[in-house]
Amino acid sequence: MKLIVATRKSSLAQTQTDLVINMIKEKHNVECEKLLMDTLGDKILDKTLDKIGGKGLFVKEIEMALLEDRAHIAVHSMKDVPYEIPPMFTMAAIPEREDVRDVFVSRDETPFMELPKGAKVGTSSRRRAAQLKLLRPDVEIVPIRGNVQTRIRKIQELNLHGTILAAAGLKRLNMENVITNYFEAMDIVPAIGQGALGLETKVESEAIEIVKDIEHRKTRICVEAERSFMRELKGDCHSTIGAYATLEKDLMYVVGIYEIGGRIIKKDIEGNTEAFEELGKNLAKKIINA
């Protein structure tokens, strides 16, 4: 059986898919082929995601390829996957997560906290923009979209002092050298599922048996806790929302942020790892009741 693996065309999406294909080959010696797709989210770059329908735009066309049996597996960045997955699909495996942190890429190697007053920083993420403003109320946020390379190029083109990107993408692209400084996850709470990949299949697909070996249980329950938080708040890219779950033996710790009435509320919660979905829900309730 040859597995057809659907993914977006960007170099990062392809690199991530190659990582998955290598894992599958290592475990099962199964031949794989990529199906490269242009999603609506990739085509419309002059508008922010909340204006054109949200992060699901990176996922819907790829799910159609699964539905029409043009592909067996879809590889997604988990942070692009809406909290509701249609019932005919399942997230068959979530491999081990990469670095969850956000990073600052500076025009001239000046760290974020040392930028001049009124510095221009590029990001179209509401989550990043809101938290950057808490750290430095004086910075000017300039909306920019596009793949990693495009956003780095726009630093020069738009005369920005720098931009914010996910460490995971830069590490997977072997571009760590462009990182000026890392933000700790407590300072800039990451996107839901940041750094994690998801392998989606149809519910009754034979491919589930092949990919389940690359599941990483700890990553799965952390991501599911974060997604439970997002589901409870009905969060999407119209929301300023972020969460990050970590494990220490039987204990799970989750920190989350959410904007209510123009105010960013950050709360955390700790509890038994087995109750990971409940922890996400309870953290959401804690924020709503704050």
Of the candidates 210, 201, 208, 200, the residue with the CA atom closest to the CA atom of residue 26: 210
Q: Please, what is the Cα angle at 37 between 191 and 212, to 5 degrees? A: 60
Phi and psi (nearest 5°) for 195?
A: 85, -10
Rounded-to-integer distance, Cα 111 and Cα 90, Å: 41
Instruction: Answer for the pair 69, 184: CB distance below 8 angstroms, yes or no.
Output: no
Partners of 243 in the beta sheet? 256
Rounded-to-integer distance, Cα 99 and Cα 34, Å: 25
80 annotated active-site: yes
Catalytic residue (choose from 38, 69, 80, 236): 80
CA R_g for the chain: 19
Amino acid at residue number 107:
R
**What residues are annotated to the active site?**
80
